[in-house]
């Protein structure tokens, strides 16, 4: 098994072992830290995600974005075409469950947006290193996206401390994030 697969398995196992109360408490701390950031408060168009399988909960974050009068954009992943597109969301209750069990935008209800309009990206990941690199689920969707938007656009990873590792196996196409928010606080890269 290659290093990335091994690392994914190890970190996901740790994340799965968080109790419901630990997951909830740590997620709340992360949301609080994120929403205090000036860069989050100063922009209008924010891309986020809907948490899945013990990821940091994004429900409070997404609801805050909508209630603050900002525009919320969520990803839709098409595994067949290997693409990730973003759609404007006004009501989280309009999301639909994908075949993978992830709540996603409904293209017949939501409008697709050019990622160049997005001023800040909140991103998931499995593991993060001290230099701002992230290990995702292996599809390369976020690396491809980040390669196509400007370096000045904030890209904020959300993770529990247990997802922080000393080193990641890197490849030339791996893209860095600009910030990482954990229950311990914010790291800027």
Whether 95 shows a pLDDT value over 60: the answer reads yes
Return d(Cα 97, Cα 67) in angstroms, integer: 23
pLDDT computed for residue 79 by the predictor: 84
Return d(Cα 8, Cα 14) in angstroms, integer: 10
Q: Name the packing angle between helices 20-35 and 59-67 (round to 10°).
A: 30
For the segment 138-163, what is each residue's pLDDT rounded down to a tens digit? Answer: 889 999 999 999 889 999 999 999 99
Question: Would 129 be classed as within a structural domain?
Answer: no
Beta-ladder partners of 181: 158, 186
**CATH number for the domain that contains residue 58:** 3.40.50.10420
Are 65 and 46 spatial neighbours (Cβ–Cβ below 8 Å)? yes
Question: Would 176 be classed as within a structural domain?
Answer: yes
* pTM of the complete model: 0.94
Question: Would 153 be classed as within a structural domain?
Answer: yes
Question: Would 130 be classed as within a structural domain?
Answer: no
Question: Would 128 be classed as within a structural domain?
Answer: no
Return d(Cα 87, Cα 109) in angstroms, integer: 9
Whether 91 shows a pLDDT value over 70: the answer reads yes
């Amino acid at each position: 098994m290659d290093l990335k697969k091994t690392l994914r398995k190890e970190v996901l196992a740790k994340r799965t072992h968080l109790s419901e109360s630990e997951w909830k408490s740590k997620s709340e701390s992360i949301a609080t830290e994120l929403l205090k950031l000036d860069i989050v408060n100063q922009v209008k168009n924010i891309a986020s995600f809907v948490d899945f399988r013990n990821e940091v909960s994004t429900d409070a974050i997404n609801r805050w974005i909508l209630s603050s009068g900002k525009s919320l954009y969520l990803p839709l992943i098409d595994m067949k075409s290997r693409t990730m597109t973003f759609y404007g969301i006004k009501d989280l209750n309009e999301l639909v469950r994908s075949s993978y069990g992830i709540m996603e935008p409904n293209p017949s209800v939501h409008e697709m947006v050019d990622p160049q309009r997005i001023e800040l990206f909140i991103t998931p990941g499995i593991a993060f290193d001290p230099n701002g690199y992230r290990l995702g689920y292996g599809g390369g969707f976020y690396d491809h996206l980040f390669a196509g938007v400007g370096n000045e656009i904030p890209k904020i990873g959300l993770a529990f401390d247990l997802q922080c590792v000393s080193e990641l196996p890197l490849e030339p196409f791996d893209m860095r994030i600009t910030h990482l928010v954990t229950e311990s606080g914010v790291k800027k890269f």
